[in-house]
A and B are shown apart, each in its own frame.
Chain A
Amino acid sequence: MADVTLRKVRKAFGDLEIIRGVDLEVKDREFVVFVGPSGCGKSTLLRLIAGLEDITSGELWIDGELVNDLPPAKRGIAMVFQSYALYPHMTVYENMAFGLRLAKMPQAEIEQRVKKAAQILQMDHLLQRKPAEMSGGQRQRVAIGRAIVRDPKVFLFDEPLSNLDAALRVAMRIELANLHNDLNATMIYVTHDQVEAMTLADKIVVLQAGEVEQIGSPLELYHHPQNIFVAGFIGSPKMNFVDTVVRKVEAAGITVDLPSGGTARIPVEPGPARVGDKVTLGIRPEHMLEGGSPEAQITGEVMVVERLGGHTFLYIKVGRDLVVTVQAGGESDAGIGDTISIGLPVGEAHLFDQNGHAFRRTQAPAIASRRKESFVRREAEYSARTH
């Protein structure tokens, strides 16, 4: 039973404002991921919640209690640091027991909690080791174990997987997702890796320069990015952006020029758009069709071909200074220097106005509004308990 609420939270270091008014509701048992480019203030925001930094202004509520002035140990949180931050001179057992001993917990209960956490994380055999005698993945487990034994209301993770190699990162990601289901705890997780964000989150908070760009479920952000920044940040490789001009405005959509001639009608709510407005057309590499399509297409010259086996990335030069990325099939036989046509399925396209705000898409797939199954279940439980 722990929700976290931020109201107009600001943080300045001297004159420099790093967090510029963040409003956020984290529901009980929700897995929320802060994502954004390096230096955007993700860690700072997490440290504000942890109590490792003072909040300059605004309110922070954890589990119905205003905690602005509470020290970290009294906030009911546990934090897992990027560099693990284990005490090097203590064994795994002592590392996990340290906080409990300080809280004057009876010895028997400490032992029971540490044993249980060790079981959950399958590291019973490591309890007498020191951090220096373990691998990165094992240390990361200990750091997570140290958080689990505290039985916190909220888990805070700051890029916990970024020091692991790629294979281990995937394995730990799955373990974390399972852990979240097993512990039924509220978790706030910071990462710059949008794959981690997409796979782990019930709700993603996209941050840029200390401000929230968008909050939503992973698929919501993917299908309905509210602005160019989110559109470019979520999805890999990055969405292609093409600057163009409005030719016709109808209820059924906005018709724009295409870079290699012709027009396309993008099915969006037209809003206040007017003919002649400058707009940006966005389309993801995985939605482009090698070989063209009858709806709309663009033509260009293949500059680079990257074959990944399962699929092929084509970098195509269109006109003078536009390069678009296309995800083609693994068997694509496009070669460098070829001139090819790329189909542009208008239903998959995004359109942004001059200020970078998205026009609401009208043909996005139904999946866009689907929530994570585990989240839906938890939410039902949550409302059953509160009513």
Chain B
Amino acid sequence: MTSITVTDAATAARPETSRLTRSRVRWAWVFLTPLLIVMALVAGWPLGRTIYFSFTDARLSDMSNYGFVGLDNFYYLLIDDQWWRSVFNTVTFSVISVALETVLGMVVALIINANMPGRGLLRAAVLVPWAIPTVVSAKMWDWMFNDQFGVINHGLESLGLISAGIAWTADPTTAMGAMIMVDVWKTTPFMALLILAGLQLLPGEIYEAAHVDGASPITVFFKITLPLVMPAIMVAVIFRLLDALRIFDLMYVMTGTARETMSMSIYARQQLVEFSDVGFGSAASTLLFLIIALITVAYIVFGRVNLSGGK
């Protein structure tokens, strides 16, 4: 009896939320809760722990004894040249490889989107590099880049372009280029598919209208196709950028912990695992997280990306 009276009073006080709306809201929470719990466990908890440890001097050998050191870890991190070199490496790698992947992905998407026989086969074939696990393709390319047995040196030598084998991945001047090449080879298909999805949403009749308007293929591309797939490209780029900024596996397999080509993730892992310095490694991870977050937010704001779809 009482509870009914209370409900009625509430309804009278806020007539805009009907019983149906409240029931919908309640069910929304019921469905969301399991996901929120899982997210908190697998993402929130580790992240929180990492941030927490970044203020301590914890060591991998004895994780139960540690003291708080305030911002010391961050201070030493910010004055470490190697850290800044790995930041530079990561950003260079990400910007160049994502830029190349976007351009090549666009080209591949345009080719697949053109009405031609056998495009289903092409679409499947293009996906192969993407389907191979990164460690496998990194190892495969590592062999192809090998200075003595590698097929790439062999090819260049037989063409007479070089006289002696180049140690592509060992030489810091070529290693970054080699890794960018492998990353482009591997993830261009991903870009191509995301852009292709955007291209296939474009209505065919506007191309006929442009034809009647007298637009050349190049004009059509720059004035019609590109502006219209731009939203899809922006979203594809952000996916790839997030991915590239935390690059680990490819570099770890191809150049290990070589100082010249180390990425931020490799730096953090080296501090935390190899040097057993959990506190310092956590600080590096936290900063890595902040840098990625910052770049992403800047990209979304300045690129005016709309992640919720539509225009």
Contacts and interface: CB of A to CB of B under 8 A. Distances in A.
Interface in A237-295: none
B288 interface: no
A88 B212 contact: no
Contacts of B209: 79, 81, 85-87, 146
B205 A99 contact: no
B287 interface: no
A52 B212 contact: yes
B203 interface: yes
B219 to A, nearest CB: 7
B208 A89 contact: no
Contact of B212 (A50, A83, A86, A87): A50
Given A73-B213, A85-B203, A52 B227 contact: no
A77 B212 contact: yes
Contacts of B152: none
B215 A102 contact: yes
A85 B228 CA distance: 14
Given A81-B208, A83-B203, A132-B311, A88 B213 contact: no
A99 B206 contact: no
Nearest to B205: A85
Interface string A307-343: 0000000000000000000000000000000000000
A103 interface: yes
A235 interface: no
A72 B213 CA distance: 8
Listed residue (A52, A85, A103) with the most chain B CB atoms within 10 angstroms of its CB = A85
Given A102-B219, A132-B311, A85 B211 contact: no
Interface string B272-289: 000000000000000000
Nearest to B231: A89
A82 B206 CA distance: 11
A116 B203 CA distance: 29
B228 A72 contact: no
A81 B219 CA distance: 21
A98 B311 CA distance: 21
Contacts of A89: 224, 227-228
A340 B209 CA distance: 56
Interface string B207-229: 01111111100010001100110
Contacts of A103: 214
A50 B212 CA distance: 8
Contacts of B223: 98
B205 A72 contact: no
A50 B205 CA distance: 13
Contact of A72 (B203, B206, B211, B311): B211
Interface residues of B, number: 17
Nearest to B202: A88
A114 to B, nearest CB: 14
Contact of A99 (B214, B224, B228): B214
B205 A81 contact: yes
Contact of B208 (A52, A78, A102): A52
Task: Pick from A51, A74, A99, A103 the residue with the most CB of B within 10 Å.
Answer: A99
A87 B224 contact: yes
Contacts of A71: 211, 214
Interface in A31-76: 50-52, 71-74
Contact of A73 (B205, B211, B228): B211
A62 to B, nearest CB: 14
A52 B311 contact: no
Nearest to A156: B212
Contacts of B214: 71-74, 99, 102-103
A78 B215 CA distance: 14
Contact of B206 (A52, A85, A102): A85
A83 B224 contact: no
A99 B311 contact: no
A42 to B, nearest CB: 16
A102 B211 contact: no
A79 B223 CA distance: 20
Of listed B213, B219, B228, residue having the most chain A CB within 10 A: B213
Interface string B47-91: 000000000000000000000000000000000000000000000
Interface string B179-213: 00000000000000000000000010110111111
A215 B224 CA distance: 40
Given A85-B206, A87-B206, A79 B212 contact: yes
Give the 4 A-B residue pairs with the shortest CB-CB distance, closest first: A73-B214, A99-B213, A85-B205, A85-B209
Interface of A: 50-52, 71-74, 77-79, 81-89, 98-99, 102-103, 132, 146
Given A72-B212, A102-B215, 5 more contacts: A52-B208, A52-B212, A72-B211, A102-B219, A132-B311
27 contacts: A52-B208, A52-B211, A71-B214, A72-B212, A72-B214, A73-B213, A73-B214, A74-B214, A79-B209, A79-B212, A83-B203, A83-B205, A84-B205, A85-B205, A85-B208, A86-B206, A86-B209, A87-B206, A87-B210, A87-B224, A88-B228, A98-B213, A99-B212, A99-B213, A102-B213, A102-B219, A103-B214
